[in-house]
Copies of this chain bind each other. A is one copy, B any other.
Amino acid sequence: MARLVKGVRSFSSAASSLLAEAPVARSACQPESFQVFRDVPPLRQLRRQLLKNDRSVGFVPTMGALHEGHLSLIREAARENTDIFVSIYVNPTQFGVNEDLSSYPRTWDSDVEKLEKINKELAQIDAEESSGAVTGRITAIFAPTSKVMYPALPPSSEIDGEGSFVTITPLAKKLEGSSRPVFFRGVATVCMKLFNATTPDRVYFGQKDVQQTVIIKRMVQDFHIGTEVRIVETTRESDGLALSSRNVYLGDRRRAVGLTIYRSLKAAEQAYLAGKTSRDDILGAARSIADQVLSEQQALLPAERALFEVDYISLADPDTLDELEIVDPNKGAVLSTAFKMAPLEETTPGEDCGLGDGKVPVRLIDNLILRPQS
Contacts and interface: CB of A to CB of B under 8 A. Distances in A.
A340 B37 CA distance: 50
B44 A152 contact: no
Contact of A196 (B164, B193, B224): B224
A193 B167 CA distance: 14
Interface string A139-164: 00000000000111000000000111
B163 A166 contact: no
Per DSSP, chain A at the interface is mixed
Number of this chain's copies in the complex: 2
Nearest to A185: B167
Interface string A117-153: 0000000000000000000000000000000001110
Interface string A14-44: 0000000000000000000000000010001
A221 B153 CA distance: 11
Given A165-B167, A193-B223, 17 more contacts: A40-B224, A51-B51, A150-B222, A152-B218, A162-B169, A162-B170, A163-B169, A164-B166, A164-B167, A164-B169, A164-B218, A164-B219, A165-B166, A166-B166, A192-B223, A196-B225, A199-B226
The 9 A-B residue pairs with the shortest CB-CB distance, nearest first, are A164-B222, A196-B224, A197-B224, A162-B169, A164-B168, A162-B170, A40-B224, A165-B167, A193-B224
Nearest to A196: B224
Interface string A199-226: 1000000000000000000110111111
A52 B48 CA distance: 11
Contact of A226 (B166, B168, B196, B221): B196
16 contacts: A44-B226, A151-B222, A152-B218, A162-B170, A163-B169, A164-B166, A164-B167, A164-B169, A164-B218, A164-B222, A165-B169, A167-B167, A193-B223, A196-B223, A196-B224, A199-B226
> Size range of the interface on A?
20 to 34
A155 B241 CA distance: 41
A185 B163 CA distance: 12
Contacts of A164: 166-169, 218-219, 222-223
Interface string A47-59: 0000110000000
A170 B219 CA distance: 23
A165 B168 CA distance: 7
A119 to B, nearest CB: 26
A218 B151 CA distance: 9
A223 to B, nearest CB: 5
